[in-house]
Each structure stands twice: as structure tokens, then as C-alpha cells.
Structure 1
Amino acid sequence: MKFFLLSDNVDSLVGMRLVGIDGVIVHERKEFLLALEDALEDPSIAVILVTTKLVNLAPNVISELKLTQSRQLIVEIPDRHGGANIGEEIDRYISEAIGVKL
């Protein structure tokens, strides 16, 4: 089982490759969803890392997959475009998932 990165920038991909994590760079929503589908179909991938900017391209799709995907874990990682508000994003995600405002 391995990690796989879906990134919108070269910096994150290079950093992950330094620790042995492969990935792809995508910029548009359509190519992101295709790359995500490919990663979900690969049985050797256990954890899919997705940069914040890409998550923001399809937040509903990612939220649904996080709640229903049983084989792979999808993890949002901050990148150079942000991440300062990651705590607020986590609160929002939990609130949406359980239906209770934190």
C-alpha cells in the first residue's frame, strides 16, 4: 500500500517525491476528477493526498468520497496557496459531516 499525491503545483510534488511519494500535477476540475478516479481505481494506493486548491475545485465530490470511501483514505494537505485556515476548514468539514455546528 502506498501514498499518492494529486497536486496543483510542482513544489508539492517535488517535496513528496523526495520522500518516495509519487503523484501528478493537475490544474482543471475535469483533469483533477479524472486523476482522482484513476487513483481510486489503483488497488496499490492506500492514501490519496490532495492539495487544498484542488479540493476547492470539487469540495462536494471530496466530502462525499471521504464519507463513503472504505478502501482508501483521502487527505487534504495545505500547500503554498494557503493552509492558514486549515483549522476552520476542518471545523467546517466536521460540522457538515455530523450536522452539528462546532
Structure 2
Amino acid sequence: MKFFLLSDNVDTLAGMRLVGIEGIVIHKRQEVLDELQKVMSDETVSIVLMTTKLVELCPEVISELKLRQTKPLIVEIPDRHGSSDIGESIDRYVSQAIGFKIWGE
């Protein structure tokens, strides 16, 4: 199982490289889409880690891939600039997948 990181900052990439995860630093929407297409077609990659900022550049594409693709798994990770609302992202993803909100406010 091979991981690959798409990051918007060097610090996250450096940290992941320390544990053996390769990746790339990108900043623009088109760069995200291009690199994501390359990684999605790489049969050796099982899990794609993406920083929250990059996911926010193309949320509709990421949501569609998460719903339609079985491999590789796309996992959103917060970085040092990220917020702690990852739970809300998971809630939104599940709600989109099943068509209604499970948890009440």
C-alpha cells in the first residue's frame, strides 16, 4: 500500500517524507486537478492525502471522486494552517453520500 501527499505547504510535505510518504507541493486549482489525475491513474497508490486547503480549491471534484472511485482512497488532512472542523467535512461527505443529514444540531 503506497501513500501520496498533495500539499499546499512545504512543512507538511517535509513531515510526511520523514515517515516515508512522497508527495508534491502545489497551490493552484489546475495544478491540483492535474496532479490528482496523475495520482488517480497510478495503480501503486492506495491512499491520497490532501491538505484541507487543496480540497477547498475543488470540493466538487473531490466529492465526486470520493463517491465514485473505490481506489485510491482520498483522505483530507488538516495542516498547520488548517482549522479543526474536519468533523464537519466528514459529516458533509456522509450527508452527500446518503442524501440526508444524520446528526441534528
TM class, shorter-length: over 0.9
Trace 1:15-94 onto structure 2 (pairs within 5 A).
15-94=15-94
Letter in 1 for 2:2: K
1:11-64: CA deviations, max 9, x gaps? 110000000000000000001110101111111111000000000000010001
Q: CA RMSD in A?
A: 0.9
Aligned length: 102
Compute the TM-score of the two structures, normalised by the length of structure 2: 0.92
- Shifted more, 11-20 versus 69-78: the winner is 69-78
Unaligned segments of structure 1, at least 5 residues:
none
Q: Among the aligned pairs, what percent are the same residue?
A: 63
Question: How far 1:83 sits from its partner (Å)?
Answer: 3.3
Compute the TM-score of the two structures, normalised by the length of structure 1: 0.95
CA distance in 2, matches of 1:91, 1:40: 24
Question: How far 1:71 sits from its partner (Å)?
Answer: 2.3
Unaligned segments of structure 2, at least 5 residues:
none
| Structure 1 counterpart SS, 2:93 | helix
Letter in 2 for 1:17: R
Question: How far 1:100 sits from its partner (Å)?
Answer: 1.2
